[in-house]
Amino acid sequence: MTAYRIAIVGSGPAGLSAAAHAARLGLSHVLLEKTDHLSDTIYKYQKGKHVMATPSQLILRSPLDFDAGKREVVLGTWNDQTAAAKVNVKYKAEVKAIVGTGAPIEGSVMKIVSRKRDGSTETKEIQRLAPPYRLTLAGGEEIIADTVILAIGTQGNPNLMACPGGNLPHVQYQLDDPTEYTDEHIFVIGGGDAGIENALGLCADPAQHNTVTLVNRSADFANAKDANVKALFAARDAGRISIMTETTTKEIEPGFITLDTRDGEVRARCDRIIARMGSAPPRGFVEGCGVEFASNDRLAFPKLSATFESTAPGIYVVGALAGYPLIKHCMNQGHDVVEFINGNLDLKPADEPILEAKFAALPKGPGGGRSVADWLEYLRTRVSILTGMSALQMREFMLDSSVKLYRAGDVIFERNAPGSSLFGIADGQVLVEVNPSDPSITVPINAGTIFGEVGLISGRRRGATVRAGADCILVEISRNAALKLMSQVPSAAREITRITTERSLLQIFKSGLAPADLVDVIAAAKVETVRAGQAIIREGEQGDDIFIIRSGSMVVEKSIGGKPVFLNYVPAGSFVGEMGVIDGGPRTATVRAAVKSDVIRLAGEPFRALLAAQPQLLDKLRGEMANRTRLNNFIESKKDSFSSVVDMYTGVANFLVEQGVGEATDVLLIDEKLCVGCDNCEKACADTHDGLSRLDREAGRTYAHLHVPTSCRHCEHPHCMADCPPNAIHRGPTGEVYIDDTCIGCGNCQRNCPYGVIRMDKVPPKKPWLLSWFLFGSGPGPGEPSHKWAKKADPAYAEKAKKAIKCDMCSGQEGGPACVRACPTGAAIRVSPEQFLSVALMAREGK
C-alpha cells in the first residue's frame, strides 16, 4: 500500500481548499469525504440560500474561488474547480479511526474522560504512536498517510437507531423534501425541534395521504420550542398526526415497526422511519485520534499550535472544528495548513493585516515597532488570565478583542453604561470610582488583572465608573471572546470566578470593606448553578447562608393561607437570605430561581464574624431587612382584606416569570383591556425599521388580559448570541440586543431564541411617500408591505438574501420605542421587569 503525503478528512470549505492546494503543489494526497458529494454542510443549506462571504476585508488565499452568492453557484464552482485541479477525492469514505503506525511516542499519552449518565466519569488512556497514520474507513478499507488534516466541521453524526433492524434502508436520518413522500405510513422518532418540524412537514398537506406518527421517549417535549410543540398538538387535535409519548422503538422490520409503550408492545405498519434523535458532536472521534481538547467544556475546541498541529504530531485540525466557522476563514486555513506541512513555516496568516491594524495605534515602545507576534506575546505574558493560551488561540482571541492606549484620567466606562466586555490591564493602573456621589474616592486596580467582569457575568449595567489612573494599555475582551476564553482555558475561568466573587461582595456590601476583610468569607464561598424553579431558600427551614445572585434572577414567595404568594423579584447583583444571619430565626420566605441562575453561597458563620467586625455593614443589612419586612407585611395585610387582589398579583407575577421576564431587561407588554387591535404598534415598527415589523402583536401568551406579544425581551444573557458565525449580535449602548449588517442569514439565532422573536426576511423596497398614499392611494400604505407588492415594486427583490430581523429597542430614535409611542390607547408599554414586577402591579390589579 502506498503512503500518501497528506490525507484530508472532510471536504467542507477547509478540507476542499487544502486538497486543491495540495494538488496544485503536486503533493501526493487523498481527500476523504463521508457522503457522495462535496461539502456536506453547505450542501444541506436550504435550496437557493444566499451564502455570504464575510469578513469582507479578509483576502481569500484559497486556490478555489468563493464569492457571496447562491448555494448552487458556490457548490457548482467548487465541483468544477476541484475536478479541474485533479484533486484525488474519495467519496463515501467515512473515516472511523486514525492511529499511528510508528513507535510509541514517549510520554505522550492521551487521557479521554467520558461522563456517564449517572454523573460519574471514566478515564481511558491511549498511548500515542508516531506517524505515518493508518486511517480506517467505514467499509474496512485502510489508508496510510504521513500527515492528516482533520476538517470534519462540527455537524457531527446523527445518533443512530440502536434497535434490531436499525440499519434497514427505510430508516433515514434526514428529510430533505417532505413533499417527496405520498401514501406512506411514516414514523418520526424524536421529539426535538428537528423531529417535530419534519413530522409537521410530512403531514402538512393531507393530499399526500401520509399517516404520520411522532414517537417520543419522554412524556413531554421539553427540548422543543414552545411554538413547535403547540403546532404539533394542534396538528394532533386536527387529526393530522398521531403522537406516542413514553415510547421507544423495539424492532424494525421491512414494512413494520414494533414499539415499546407504557401499555405494552405495539406492532404497526410502517413504510419509512425518520430518526431525528440529535447528533453526537465529533469530539469523541477526534479525541480517539489522540487530539486533546482545551477543556471539558461543551464549547471547547482542540488544542492547536500556531501551525494548526494538534497534540498528536502530524495531525492538523482546521475549519469549524478548529473554532473558525466562517467559510472564508476555513478556506484560508486549508491553504495555510498545506503550506505549513510543505515546510513554509514563515507564512503569515491571512488575518495578519487585520491584527496589525489593531496594534497600529499603540505606542511603539522601546526598541521600535513590535510585530504582531510580539504584541500577542506581550499581552499573553502581561495579563494573568491570558497566560494559559497558545499562540494560535491568542490570534483568534485577538480578532474578537481590541487593545487600546488610555491616557491618565480617560474614562474607560461609566456607571450604568451597558457593557458585557471584560478588560485586562496589560500596563498601567485604573481607578474605580466606588462612590457615585464623590468621584475622588477610588480604588486602584493594577496591571496584570482584569475589571469589568460584573457586566460579563450578570449581563447587567456597569456598577461603577472606571478611569485610567496612569497611562495604560488595556485589552477589551468581547463577551464572546471571554466566554470562549473561559471554556478554552480552565485556569482563566477559575481566576475570573475568584475575582468576580470578591468584587461582587465589595460592590454589593460596600460600607468601606476592603478585600482583606473578606478573606474568610470568600474562602468559604461557593458558586452554585440553580435550575429555573429550584429553591435556594425554603420557608420554615433553618439556615443562615447568604446568597448573592451572580446571574439570572430570583422570585421570593411566602405561603399565606396555604397558597404561595408572590412577594418580590430579585435581579442579579442583589443578595438574599440576610435575615437568617441577622436574627437567626427560620426562613420567612421561599426564594427560587426565575431562570437558570448562578449564585454565590456565603456560609453564615464567617459572615457573622464579618458583621461583628463591621457595624456599618450590619446597619446596612438591617436597613435592607427592614425594607423587605415592610413589604412582606404590607402584602400580608392586603391578603386578609383583598385576598383576590393578592392572588391575581401572584398569578400575574408567576405568569410573567414563566414568559421569560425573569431574564429580560426590557419587555413589551400589552394590556388587552385597552388594546383595540389596530396593529398600529406593528405598523410603526415596520415604518421605523426598513419596512419590516419586529413584533407580532397577536401571537404570544396572555394571562388575566396581560399579553406578552412575540417581541424581543433583550435578555441579560441572550441565547441568540450563542452560535452566530460572524458574531453579528451585540448589546448596544442603551442595552438593546441588536444584529448588525454582517449577518449571513444562517438562522442559528432564530433557532436559539427560546421566545421565537427572530424572523428571517428580506428588506422590501422603499414605499412611495405617505402623502401620495393619502391622496392618491399609491403604494401599500403604512406598515409592512406585502411580499407581493415588494416583488412588483422591485424586480431584484426575489433574489435578495434573507437576514435575521429583530427588535433593536428603537435605539437611536429620540422618541424611544415606536410601538409604544404609536399605541393610541396606552395598551402597549415597554418596561424592565424590576419596574413592572413590583407592588405597583398590585395596585394595578386592585383597580
Partner 1 sequence: MASTAPTRKAMTGKAVTRAPRDTAHEGFLNHRRARWAKVAGIISLVALLAYMLTDPTPRHNGGTWLGYTLGSIGAGMIVWLSLLGVRKRVIGARPFSLKGWTSAHVYLGLSLIVIGTLHTGFQLGWNVHTLAWALMMIVILSGLWGISLYATVPERLSANRGEVTQQQMLEAIRTLDRQMDLAAQPLGADDAALVRMSLEQCRIAGSLGQRLSGNYTSDGNALALAAISEKVMAGMRSGRSDERLQQIQFLLERKEAALAQTRRHIRMKAQLELWLYIHVPVTVALLAALFAHIISVFLYW
Ligand X SMILES: Cc1cc2nc3c(=O)[nH]c(=O)nc-3n(C[C@H](O)[C@H](O)[C@H](O)COP(=O)(O)OP(=O)(O)OC[C@H]3O[C@@H](n4cnc5c(N)ncnc54)[C@H](O)[C@@H]3O)c2cc1C
Window 442 to 481, contacts with partner 1 (CB under 8 A): 461-462, 480-481
Q: Is the dihedral of CA 474, 476, 481, 487 positive or negative?
A: positive
User: What x/- string results for residues 315 through 344 when contact with partner 1 is judged by CB under 8 A?
Assistant: --------xxxx--x---------------
The nearest distance, CB 316 to partner 1, in angstroms, is 19
Q: Is the dihedral of CA 436, 437, 443, 445 positive or negative?
A: positive
User: What x/- string results for residues 169 through 208 when contact with partner 1 is judged by CB under 8 A?
Assistant: -------------------------------------x--
What is the residue whose three cell numbers read 477589551?
476
10 makes contact with ligand X (CB under 6 A): yes
Nearer to ligand SF4, 482 or 712 (CB): 712
The nearest distance, CB 676 to ligand HEM, in angstroms, is 6
Nearer to ligand X, 34 or 382 (CB): 34
The nearest distance, CB 710 to ligand SF4, in angstroms, is 9
Residue 461: φ, ψ to 5°: -70, 160
Separation CA 286–CA 301 (nearest Å): 10
707 makes contact with partner 1 (CB under 8 A): yes
Show the cell assigned to 819.
410601538
Residue of 688, 693, 711, 748 that binds partner 1 (CB under 8 A): 688
Distance of CA 543 to the CA centre of its chain: 36
351 makes contact with partner 1 (CB under 8 A): yes
Q: How many CB atoms lie within 10 A of CB 772?
A: 12
Count of residues binding ligand X (CB under 6 A)?
35
58 makes contact with partner 1 (CB under 8 A): yes
Separation CA 450–CA 448 (nearest Å): 7
475 makes contact with ligand SF4 (CB under 6 A): no
User: What x/- string results for residues 720 through 759 when contact with ligand X is judged by CB under 6 A?
Assistant: -----x------------------x-xx------------
383 makes contact with ligand SF4 (CB under 6 A): no
Residue 23: φ, ψ to 5°: -65, -40
Separation CA 536–CA 235 (nearest Å): 40
Query: Quick one: which of 165, 161, 134 has its CA closest to 32?
Result: 134
The H-or-E segment that residue 647 falls in is helix 643-658
The nearest distance, CB 209 to partner 1, in angstroms, is 9
Show the cell assigned to 228.
413547535
Show the cell assigned to 84.
479541474
What is the residue whose three cell numbers read 526598541?
367
Secondary structure of residue 54 in the 3-state scheme: coil
Query: Quick one: which of 176, 71, 3, 300 has its CA closest to 801?
Result: 71
689 makes contact with ligand SF4 (CB under 6 A): no
749 makes contact with ligand SF4 (CB under 6 A): yes
Residue of 383, 728, 809, 819 that binds ligand SF4 (CB under 6 A): 728
Nearer to ligand X, 42 or 257 (CB): 42
What region, left, alpha or beta, does residue 605 occupy, with left being phi > 0 and alpha being psi -120 to 50 degrees? Answer: alpha
62 makes contact with ligand X (CB under 6 A): no
Residue 303 DSSP symbol: -
Laid out side by side, the sheet with 575-576 consists of 526-530, 597-602, 546-551, 575-576
Residue of 154, 659, 680, 748 that binds ligand SF4 (CB under 6 A): 748
Contact partner at residue 606 from ligand SF4, ligand X, partner 1, none, CB < 5 to 8 Å by partner kind: none
| 8 A C-beta contact, residue 175 and residue 277 | no
Residue 130: φ, ψ to 5°: -70, 155
830 makes contact with partner 1 (CB under 8 A): yes
Contact partner at residue 678 from ligand SF4, ligand X, ligand HEM, none, CB < 5 to 8 Å by partner kind: ligand HEM
39 makes contact with ligand X (CB under 6 A): yes
Query: Quick one: which of 668, 666, 733 has its CA closest to 416?
Result: 733
Amino acid (one-letter) located at 612:
A
Separation CA 455–CA 499 (nearest Å): 13
Contact partner at residue 688 from ligand HEM, partner 1, ligand X, none, CB < 5 to 8 Å by partner kind: partner 1
Amino acid (one-letter) located at 353:
P
Residue 752: φ, ψ to 5°: -80, -25
Separation CA 398–CA 406 (nearest Å): 18
Contacting range for ligand X; rule: CB under 6 A; set: 45-53, 78-86, 260-268, 545-553: 45-53
Nearer to ligand HEM, 337 or 681 (CB): 681
Residues 767-826 that bind ligand HEM (CB under 6 A): 824
Residue of 75, 112, 678, 801 that binds ligand HEM (CB under 6 A): 678
Q: Which residues bind ligand HEM (CB under 6 A)?
A: 678, 824
Q: Which residues bind ligand X (CB under 6 A)?
A: 9-15, 32-35, 39-42, 45, 51-52, 94-95, 151-153, 155, 319-321, 325-327, 330, 725, 744, 746-747
Q: Which residues bind ligand SF4 (CB under 6 A)?
A: 712-715, 718-720, 724-726, 728-729, 737, 739, 743-749, 753, 755, 757-758, 804, 806
